[in-house]
């Protein structure tokens, strides 16, 4: 492998200064534009990832290029257009950016950046820039509370691919899954309670809806489902919801193979048929509003619920830039960045500072 010369770390740092620390938020990514070309490029990169689709390449790639991309790019672009903000673009990008800005305000002694596994800003471009700035300590923060190889490992793969090419690899820490971290759980409870206060009606039932993964991946050892169950149990306890007033479900199924069950749409329709009229859908697995929460739950699933006899469905707000979530992220970062984030030496950290 060819290694290009790297700028000396002393570019910004004198020899006497301790190493700079960078916090790197890792999010999934989103199309650059809500049109056929933009969504095609995004889906091609996303769905070519072996972490996401494990099928043998000889079987999957012809299917992807001939059957899936040409049709899904157009259909998904139409959905993206519905959620696109004329000023700020993709909600996922907007809130990830806000999270990084807010964390930078709280952690002036480190450089805070975000990067996307698919699309831009890519992990490669952001990490290359950080290394050029002289960063020697890197704390990666996957923005997925529950670990799945399809998301968390795909994000760290992107990071490792960049590091593989470097001569001076920074010291690296990766924040472990925080599905049961009290600060994350309390922030999620605060967001849910805030939504409930804003509602002019009382939900009869709460559906905790998480993005699904194929059942096969779970059977092969992906711990995602267990972590989802644990998060939900903790949230339900904190919200003091009786057992008959909540359901755990999985959304966003892709392809024909069975995914984790029950499916959110089946649950919502069954609730409506049972006479439940008003439902709140909590979305604890998504750290930012995105296509899957705004359009899939807020429009597609709502329509199914209403057709089955339901009256009101509220798609819950995600953690986004809620102050308690930013504080939770800060706490998790300080715990995992222990020794790297001293307060005293603004802009730099090190063992002596």
Ligand X SMILES: C=CC1=C(C)c2cc3[nH]c(cc4nc(cc5[nH]c(cc1n2)c(C)c5CCC(=O)O)C(CCC(=O)O)=C4C)c(C)c3C=C
- Residues β-bridged to residue 246: 206
Query: How far is the CA of 330 from the CAs of 84, 101, 215, 253, in angstroms?
Result: 29, 12, 34, 32
Find which of ligand X, Fe ion, none residue 150 binds, CB within 5 to 8 Å per kind: ligand X
3-state DSSP assignment of residue 47: helix
Rounded Cα distance, 165 and 3, in Å: 6
- φ, ψ at 307 (rounded to 5°): -65, -30
Per DSSP (E only), the strands in the chain are 20-27, 111-116, 135-142, 171-174, 205-211, 246-251, 278-282, 312-315
C-alpha angle with apex 126: 123 to 130, nearest 5 degrees?
A: 130
Residue 293: CA count within 13 A, CB half-sphere: 24
Name the residue among 267, 330, 281 with its Cα closest to residue 102: 330
The CB-of-90 to ligand X minimum distance in angstroms stands at 6
Rounded Cα distance, 114 and 92, in Å: 12
Pick from 296, 315, 332, 349 the residue near Fe ion by CB under 5 A.
296
The CB-of-322 to ligand X minimum distance in angstroms stands at 17
Query: How far is the CA of 274 from the CAs of 48, 255, 268, 309, 313, in angstroms?
Result: 41, 29, 10, 9, 15
The CB-of-172 to ligand X minimum distance in angstroms stands at 23
Between 79 and 137, whose beta carbon lies closer to Fe ion?
A: 79
The DSSP secondary structure of 119-185, one letter per residue, reads SSSBHHHHHHHHHHTTEEEEEEEES-SS--IIIIIHHHHHHHHHHTT-SSPPEEEEPPP-TT-HHHH
Q: Which residues contact 347 (CB under 8 A, 6 or more apart)?
A: 20, 108, 109
Q: Does 252 bind Fe ion (CB under 5 A)?
A: yes
Find which of Fe ion, ligand X, none residue 231 binds, CB within 5 to 8 Å per kind: none
Between 210 and 280, whose beta carbon lies closer to ligand X?
A: 210
Residues that bind ligand X (CB under 6 A): 28, 30, 43, 46, 52, 72, 76, 90, 92, 144, 148, 150-151, 211, 213-214, 252, 254, 285-286, 290-292
The CB-of-341 to ligand X minimum distance in angstroms stands at 27
Between 85 and 346, whose beta carbon lies closer to ligand X?
A: 85
Between 222 and 292, whose beta carbon lies closer to Fe ion?
A: 292
The CB-of-213 to Fe ion minimum distance in angstroms stands at 9
**Could you tell me which stretch among 2-10, 101-109, 242-250, 295-303 binds Fe ion (CB under 5 A)?**
295-303
Rounded Cα distance, 185 and 169, in Å: 34
Between 133 and 252, whose beta carbon lies closer to ligand X?
A: 252
The CB-of-289 to ligand X minimum distance in angstroms stands at 8
Annotated ligand binding at 101? The verdict is no
The CB-of-151 to Fe ion minimum distance in angstroms stands at 8
**Could you tell me which stretch among 9-17, 34-42, 293-301, 338-346 binds Fe ion (CB under 5 A)?**
293-301
Between 252 and 317, whose beta carbon lies closer to Fe ion?
A: 252
Query: How far is the CA of 182 from the CAs of 178, 185, 251, 272, 348, in angstroms?
Result: 9, 5, 25, 33, 29
Find which of ligand X, Fe ion, none residue 139 binds, CB within 5 to 8 Å per kind: none
**Could you tell me which stretch among 120-128, 172-180, 213-221, 289-297 binds Fe ion (CB under 5 A)?**
289-297
Annotated ligand binding at 292? The verdict is yes
**Could you tell me which stretch among 60-68, 176-184, 273-281, 288-296 binds Fe ion (CB under 5 A)?**
288-296
Binding-site entries: 211, 292
Binding-site entries for Fe(2+): 211, 292
**Contact residues for Fe ion, defined by CB under 5 A:** 252, 292, 296
């Amino acid at each position: 492998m060819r290694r290009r010369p790297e700028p000396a770390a002393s570019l910004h740092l004198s020899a006497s200064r301790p190493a700079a620390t960078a916090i790197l938020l890792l999010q999934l990514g989103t199309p650059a534009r809500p049109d056929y070309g933009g969504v095609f490029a995004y889906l091609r990169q996303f769905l070519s990832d072996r972490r996401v689709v494990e099928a043998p390449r000889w079987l999957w790639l012809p299917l992807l290029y001939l059957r899936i991309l040409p049709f899904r790019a157009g259909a998904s672009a139409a959905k993206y257009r519905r959620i696109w903000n004329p000023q700020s673009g993709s909600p996922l990008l907007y809130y990830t950016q806000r999270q990084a800005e807010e964390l930078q305000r709280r952690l002036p002694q480190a450089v805070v950046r975000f990067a996307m596994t698919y699309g831009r800003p890519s992990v490669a471009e952001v990490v290359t820039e950080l290394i050029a700035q002289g960063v020697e300590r890197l704390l990666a923060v996957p923005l997925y509370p529950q670990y799945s190889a399809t998301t968390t490992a795909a994000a760290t793969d992107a990071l490792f691919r960049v590091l593989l090419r470097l001569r001076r690899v920074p010291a690296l820490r990766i924040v472990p899954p925080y599905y049961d971290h009290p600060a994350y759980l309390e922030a999620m409870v605060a967001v849910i309670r805030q939504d409930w206060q804003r509602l002019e009606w009382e939900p009869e039932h709460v559906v905790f809806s998480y993005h699904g993964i194929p059942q096969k991946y779970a059977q092969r050892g992906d711990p995602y489902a267990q972590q989802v169950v644990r998060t939900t149990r903790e949230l339900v306890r904190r919200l003091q919801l009786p057992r008959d007033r909540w359901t755990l479900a999985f959304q966003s199924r892709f392809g024909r193979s069975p995914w984790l069950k029950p499916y959110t749409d089946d649950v919502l329709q069954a609730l409506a048929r049972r006479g439940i009229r008003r439902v709140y859908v909590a979305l604890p697995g998504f750290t930012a509003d995105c296509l899957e929460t705004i359009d899939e739950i807020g429009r597609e699933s709502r329509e199914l619920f209403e057709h089955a006899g339901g009256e009101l469905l509220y798609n819950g707000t995600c953690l986004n830039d809620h102050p308690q979530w930013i504080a939770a992220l800060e706490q998790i970062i300080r715990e995992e960045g222990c020794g790297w984030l001293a307060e005293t030496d603004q802009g730099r950290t090190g063992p002596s500072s």
